[in-house]
Amino acid sequence: MTRIDEGLSVTEYLKLSARTLDGKAWLGVCIACLLGLLDVFFNTQIIPFRDTEKPDLIATSLSLTPLITFVTLVSLRSDFLVSSKYGELCRGVVLIALFFYFHF
């Protein structure tokens, strides 16, 4: 899936996206955010976040990260390395790097 088709529904787009490497990276970011939220809510402190004194800020950031990375993925798919054979890998690396930049 290299170009965005505006005729697709959201669920069909997500199903097709889960088959690509960058889509799997986005799903991994979503799962990591969910595990991070569970860590914050249960106050286990297994994951070493940057600002441990502000759990509300961490929870808000973890809640918004899947949306931010999805919008980033959609915009990168529309113009960044679309025809390159390493485009999916580059987009996946960008998504994972955003996750680490936001939280660690």
Per-residue pLDDT tens digits for 24-54: 999 999 999 999 999 999 988 888 888 778 8
pLDDT value, residue 35:
95
Report if residue 86 sits inside a domain. Answer: yes
Report if residue 2 sits inside a domain. Answer: no
Question: Hey, which of 28-32, 39-43, 76-80, 86-90 has the most confident mean pLDDT?
Answer: 28-32
For residues 88, 93, 94 and 96, what is the CA-based torsion angle, rounded to 10 degrees? Answer: 130
DSSP state of 80: S
Q: For a pLDDT cut of 70, what percent of the chain falls above it?
A: 92
**What is the rounded average pLDDT of the residues 97-101?**
94
Q: Domain range for residue 99? A: 10-103
Decide which of 12 and 59 is more confident: 59
Report if residue 54 sits inside a domain. Answer: yes
Count how many domains the chain has: 1
The reported pTM is 0.86
Average pLDDT over all residues of the chain: 87
Decide which of 2 and 30 is more confident: 30
Report if residue 5 sits inside a domain. Answer: no
Q: Is 62 exposed, middle or buried (0-12, 13-18, 19+ CB in 10 A)?
A: buried
